[in-house]
Structure 1
Amino acid sequence: MLKWLLCLFKPRPNRFIQLLIQQAEYTEKGVNALVEYLDNPSEEHAHAVKQMEKEADEIRRILIDELNRTFVTPIDREDIFSLSRAVDDVLDYAYTTVDEMLILEVQPNSFLRRMGSLLRDSAHEVHLGVQRLADHPGVAEDHAVRAKALENRIETVYREAIADLFHRPQDVEHVVEMLKLREIYRHMSNAADRGDEAANILSDIVVKMT
């Protein structure tokens, strides 16, 4: 009887937080696959990024459906939607990075590997932040701050990479290669920007919760 009563009054897990955690988890896995691709370009690793992107998109569709069918949400619905979109964008850019590298026949270099490694760390911090949001918002804020710091480091590498491009062109062939790499670098930078936005939204949610 006591066990039944405890189950009855036990707080139910927040459905939206659960979905956001799942989405952040798939995003982290997808970025991990991106890093593996940058270390060892292969169809297997490229497919892994694409698969994670599909799985994350499905979670986002479910989350939006839940939002549309729920009148009262535990967190502002705008924040839920915006956080989900920002996390989704990170993985979208990870996928387009790989996709365009394949299309443009661009090989990974040290700049891409450095940005990929930092992006992986950022995705991990966002994932942890979402996990801690419900029960430990202060810890979630710490992870958001770390994610933002990592975005700054990615942007530093991005600027170094762009500067290196403009020092190298010697002929038309080099210019074409420069344009290809600049496009890929931009995708990585955009992924970092969206990770930064996810961290900002996490921080906003924490402020509203505390």
Structure 2
Amino acid sequence: MLFGKLLPREGNFFALFNQHANHIGEAAEALVKLIANYSDAALRAQYTAAIDEAESAADSVTALVNKTIHQTFITPIDREQIHSLINTMDDVADLIQDVAETLVLYDVQSITQDMRSLADLDRRCVDRVRAAIATLDKIADSSVAEAALKTCEEIDQLEDDADRVLRSAMSALFRQEENVRELIKLKAIYELLETVSDRCQDVANIIEGIVLENS
């Protein structure tokens, strides 16, 4: 019995990565819908709750991955890569929840087109993260590895797009918004939304490292 417990195990890390990526996707979709329907109090509460649920589910997967690392003798990729990947993915889920919470805490009364644009770019970044994560168990195949790297490049481009939207939004905000309280609120929301895409880029960088080292 003891011998059986000591046998090397790989753990089901790739399946857990995919589960987590799906939860981030749910949160990102709910964020887009939250912002699109923000004026409707019932829908606002519904989509905020959906984000909280997705973030909680992502937290559970993160905890399971970190626990499994310590229980696994042989891992399919480097332990530090596993740890960095799952925790950076979890940062994405946390930031999406932060956006939703800050909208409420700051009592934001109206949604701008720049918020909508940034939320949509975040959703697209997360979608590409999901696609890249789904390739990790097959990167021994050179064509899959190449596709994964291309997907990471797409995430980098989307993050650049979000940077441009943020710069434009900030320029307009400081030129046009005369209410200092509103300026502070909107600045915080814009920066949080853009940080979601930044963190997706961090995930892409980790995935690139995994692909290059293991393909």
How far off its partner does 1:145 sit? 1.1
Which position in structure 2 is the counterpart of 1:110? 113
Given the alignment, which residue of 117, 123, 126 partners 2:126? 123
CA distance in 2, matches of 1:67, 1:110: 43
CA deviations over 1:150-191 (Å, ceiling 9, x no partner): 111111101111111100133xxx111000111111111211
Does structure 1 retain, via aligned residues, the 8 Å contact 2:10–2:73? no
> Which blocks of at least 5 consecutive residues in structure 2 are unaligned?
1-8, 39-43, 139-143
Is 1:152–2:160 an aligned residue pair?
A: yes
Q: Tell me how far 1:81 sits from its aligned partner.
A: 1.0
TM-score normalised to the size of structure 1? 0.90
How far the C-alpha of 1:71 sits from its partner, in A, is: 2.2
Structure 1 residue matching 2:137: 3-state secondary structure: coil
Q: Percent identity?
A: 28
TM-score, normalising length: structure 2: 0.88
1:207 corresponds to which residue? Answer: 212
- The amino acid of 1:84's aligned partner reads I
The structural deviation recorded for 1:14 is 6.3
The amino acid across from 1:25 in the alignment is N
Query: What does 1:43-122 align with in structure 2 at a 5 Å threshold?
Result: 43-106=45-108, 107-122=110-125
SS in 1 for 2:201: helix
Determine the C-alpha separation between the residues in 2 that align with 1:200 and 1:40: 33
> Would you identify which runs of 4 or more consecutive aligned residues in structure 1 move more than 3 Å?
none
Q: CA RMSD in A?
A: 1.4
User: Match of 2:194, SS?
Assistant: helix
CA offsets 1:33-69 (integer angstroms, 9 cap, x no match): 0000010021001111111000000011101000111
CA drift at 1:26: 0.5
Q: Which residue of 1 aligns with 2:17?
A: 20
Shift of 1:13: 9.1
Note closer, same or farther for the CA distance 1:194–1:113 as it changes in structure 2 (3 Å cut): same
SS at 1:72 equivalent: coil
| Structure 1 residue 143: Cα displacement | 1.2
- C-alpha displacement at 1:109, in angstroms? 1.1
Quote the Cα distance in structure 2 between the aligned partners of 1:74 and 1:100. 38
Aligned equivalents of 1:169 and 1:18: distance in 2? 47
1:191 is matched with 196
Q: Tell me the number of residue pairs that the alignment of Structure 1 and Structure 2 aligns.
A: 196
